[in-house]
Structure 1
């Protein structure tokens, strides 16, 4: 039997539902002495994150966050002046150095070609795509942050990304939860929390050297990338004792932007490759649509997006079905909140169960079925769905959403234009995810076979069933 708790004023009411197959809209947990409220279903999540956006915009003061980033940087920063300053700088940088510039689309397309050329070297033989996908995707964020990409054989950068990925898993391990409940275990010499701290220290040192290197030759007020722009802010606010800009916060922000810009998009594309091989009929329909639009064999552009409704539907269904960040990033209430007649005290940790949103039967029919057509109307046109929140909602929604959408479309269409994806003979990988703060596929091998592209007449449209 499943037990849940509801908050009512200062009292906790225990509810014993007859079945756990349906999500309660709101219930509370005691996570090692940390009062936590879980929001379930689209209606409840929207009420809190959209209609009470500012109230649910804080971050919990967890010992782990304090240890890792001193509650600074951008991702884990407490809601207030510091977060507003860092968010504004990051949004402006992503727009100015990235998604707001037509030149940047060309940079993504160039990285797409590096990516498919690297895959081509496997000559259709089985390989694990994780390394290549991770490096390609991270390079898009690197262009914004450092103004430069890293080669796929840069061992130092590869190692840093591996440490990041490992920490995404370790951050929700039993040892991490124990540390949040009993911070004194920091002095226990064994345990996964020590590995997490060592990884973080190593990444900090790498990023420190990277920032120093990429800021060489900087001209004040003529920024080339995010690091330059941050250093401008740091110098301009040097005399302000209340300024949140600091060298440590620069390093934390750079690390958070890299991992946030890499982990989710990487895992989306890895799931996409897995599901295309798993559902060859869906892959074939994707091929037909790509061929009909790119009828001359040219590379895809963002202008092609509106002409490829089925590709868009497939990518949206992967984001919905695979739930890359199933519980979002933990939030906290910045003041007392009222939700569905219940009071959530200020400072309560809040988990937004995005998995429940994407499997909410009120908004999705047969949510447990992988069905791209749910994002198409009867005429085969792409339609937006209300209860679709892979980038979350409200003040803390993903600032890189526009960039992520650009990347996913261009990498996916470039990949499927050139290759047919299939599993090695006799092998079908599991679709059970590897658990962590994100849900990623377990390591798998795939064959990317060069296609003999079937080019229809320009202007033809694929048949939509």
Structure 2
């Protein structure tokens, strides 16, 4: 028995070494990076709780393009605006693949829009964009829905009577209702128990996605799959969301009229009907559930988290909030509902919103990409399928693009005349072929909600502004703001 155990141990060691040296042989094609260890990869070079700091340290040593091993999987990290733009925009087709994200793939299995690849991704994305446009994305019709939902949020905030409260849930409900009106054809009451549960599941999963457990799961999925821990709650939450969406799809199927499509689900059902004789079709019941889930999750969490950060930042910098108040009062007044067209006349407010998105850097490491074929890039050869990390923090904090990136300063988006100034290094929605398909909707939502709230309220903290910490509580796939309470004071 002793000999057998020793033999097994030696076989495992030799196998690990062979895999290590075989993988290391490919490094001549890949950019340089820290030397990986068998099985562990570069785990010891990375701080799971502060990946941004770890990657910045490696950038100082290896330059703007380097390779790290997430376990046994090589990932090429792209740093700085010029490098990221060259990859995602200038060579967009080659870098348009979706990289590995085991913590999400376990649930999606590559279905839906977020993690699909190849022709399936292109077809589903094209369909989703066209359908969202048909239902008003970027148009006046959807703006009216956003304005109405912003008014609903105002009424809810008025009921707090100036008492301190945590705004997380209310903000999440508001943004979720906007995407619900497009996807499901209707909004929910803020007291609807099922709706509140769904918003809670989305908030919980965004927090869990960015926990150390989820990061370790992405490194060692097979190992973590067998271990107990909070990461398993992610999949339980996803299943509950999927069950809800299945119920909505079933209800739509029972009342479906091909001559009157009411929302995104109806449009998908019509597409399934049209292509039912096509064996190569990508439109199936499972796909509609996963695609709807992708839209529902992304359409709720990203913009709601941004607004939560925004309130926190305004409380820390009351002088900036005061200037936004002044501009809104002068241009829009106190009665008229803000419109997306008001951006042209409110350059300071527009600059503040952009600076909030740059500063909070909500997806600091970017969503993983992959190269779709063997790709020559800056003197290296990246084999087909190589994971790519567009390190967006290094773009939003690039000193060659922003004068003082570590400081929150709306002047980053203003010219000498005080006019709004675009900056191509602004990439909160990523860039290139994998640009967030809901960007137009998210930008409209953010402006209308932000201006509506600032038109009606002043945000007061429960502690001195200088004590407010605007750094994220968790930073993994995205950045999660620290919990806080706010007093909403009518103007």
Contact 1:429 1:444 in 2 (8 A): no
Q: Distance in 2 between matches of 1:6 and 1:267?
A: 43
Q: Choose from 379, 382, 385 the match for 1:344.
A: 382
CA deviation after TM superposition for structure 1 residue 187, in Å: 6.0
| Unmatched tracts of structure 2, length 5 or more | 1-23, 36-54
Q: Judging by fraction of residues, say which structure has more helix.
A: 2
The within-5 A match list for 1:370-389 is 370-389=408-427
Q: Distance in 1 between matches of 2:333 and 2:31?
A: 62
Q: Choose from 307, 312, 325 the match for 2:363.
A: 325
Contact 1:6 1:27 in 2 (8 A): no
Q: Distance in 2 between matches of 1:370 and 1:351?
A: 25
Give the SS at the match of 2:458: strand
Indicate the larger mover: 385-394 or 179-188.
Answer: 179-188
Structure 2 residue 486 is the aligned partner of structure 1 residue 446: yes
User: Which residue number corresponds to residue 67 of structure 1?
Assistant: 106
Structure 2 residue 177 is the aligned partner of structure 1 residue 139: yes
Q: Distance in 1 between matches of 2:25 and 2:417?
A: 45
CA deviation after TM superposition for structure 1 residue 271, in Å: 1.1
Cα gap change, 1:139 to 1:6, in 2 (>3 Å):
farther
Give the SS at the match of 2:96: coil
Q: Distance in 1 between matches of 2:86 and 2:462?
A: 46
CA deviation after TM superposition for structure 1 residue 42, in Å: 0.4
User: Which residue number corresponds to residue 29 of structure 2?
Assistant: 10
Give the SS at the match of 2:90: coil
Q: Choose from 120, 134, 153 the match for 1:82.
A: 120
| TM-score, normalised with respect to structure 2 | 0.86
Structure 2 residue 146 is the aligned partner of structure 1 residue 127: no
Structure 2 residue 440 is the aligned partner of structure 1 residue 402: yes
User: Which residue number corresponds to residue 89 of structure 2?
Assistant: 50
User: Which residue number corresponds to residue 462 of structure 1?
Assistant: none
Q: Distance in 1 between matches of 2:226 and 2:150?
A: 45
The within-5 A match list for 1:419-434 is 419-425=457-463, 428-434=467-473
Indicate the larger mover: 206-215 or 370-379.
Answer: 206-215
Q: Distance in 2 between matches of 1:218 and 1:413?
A: 38
User: Which residue number corresponds to residue 255 of structure 1?
Assistant: 293
The within-5 A match list for 1:224-303 is 224-295=262-333, 297-303=335-341
The alignment covers a number of residue pairs equal to 446
Q: Distance in 2 between matches of 1:316 and 1:11?
A: 35
Give the SS at the match of 1:343: strand
CA deviation after TM superposition for structure 1 residue 189, in Å: 6.0
Q: Distance in 1 between matches of 2:276 and 2:57?
A: 58
Structure 2 residue 430 is the aligned partner of structure 1 residue 392: yes
| Unmatched tracts of structure 1, length 5 or more | 452-465
Query: CA RMSD, aligned part only?
Result: 2.4
User: Which residue number corresponds to residue 335 of structure 1?
Assistant: 373
Q: Distance in 1 between matches of 2:87 and 2:137?
A: 29
Cα gap change, 1:186 to 1:432, in 2 (>3 Å):
closer
CA deviation after TM superposition for structure 1 residue 167, in Å: 2.4
Q: Distance in 1 between matches of 2:315 and 2:298?
A: 27
